[in-house]
Structure 1
Amino acid sequence: MSADNKTIVTSAYQRIFGDLDASAVDECMSKTFVQHNPTIADGPDGVKQLVQMLASQGVPKQQIEFKHVVADGDIVILHSRYEMAGKEWRFIDIYRIENGKLAEHWDAMIQMPDERANNNPMF
């Protein structure tokens, strides 16, 4: 089950955020999707609005790089690299799966700084 949930989440994440495919939201997310990021509205429509905003701001379609994908039952945690506004970002996303769809989401993100205080990789 954990392997299936990893596939569900990584496939959905690539389609929605890598391919910027807003139509994938309805296929991959539950109608009652709960969003814990306070800048995005609950439900699939909040994510569709985010995808449309990213595309309108010139964020390129891209292959998402996953450094870590960890599953524990119905929870999947992603550690990924993403490019927005010409900058590299690192994301930690946590999804809860219900009936084969993304049902709930938490995240944390950081932009790669211009100057680093250490030489340890972020990814």
Structure 2
Amino acid sequence: MARKTSKRAAARTAKPVQFQPHDLLLAGIGAVSLGRKQAIKSYAYTIDNASDLRARAGAAVQDAVETVNDSVIAFRKKAKAKVGPVKKQVIALATEAKAQAETRLAPVLVKLGVKKAPAKRTAAKKKPVAKRPVKRTRRAA
């Protein structure tokens, strides 16, 4: 059996669309209107997001400050714990060295005239006792 093939319909030639000037004017007005609406929406969206962004940035900064403060406080505590005993030892050594230097260099400084010789301690002077008036008695003659 033979197969029937149908002929395709011949392509119709479409007439070119001709635009009138008022069509172009209406399309331009519509484009400007849509653009204006989109600009208003974008502006409102930007303002809303800016305030949200400001809040998020403030929270991030606050978290960073708290983290740094906690780290600094922990570091200070550790440093004080390690430095405390060493500080006491250094102060003790410094006072001992100062005392030894003063005792060893005292004679040299006296000879150079920088320091006066250490005064020898003398016993404290006592206040003279106030004299009591003498009672005179009459002698028998």
TM-score bracket for this pair, using the shorter chain length: under 0.3
Greater CA radius of gyration, 1 or 2?
Answer: 2
Higher relative contact order (CA 8 A, sep 6+): 1
Q: Which has the higher helix share?
A: 2
Q: Which has the higher strand share?
A: 1
TM-score norm. by structure 1 comes to 0.19
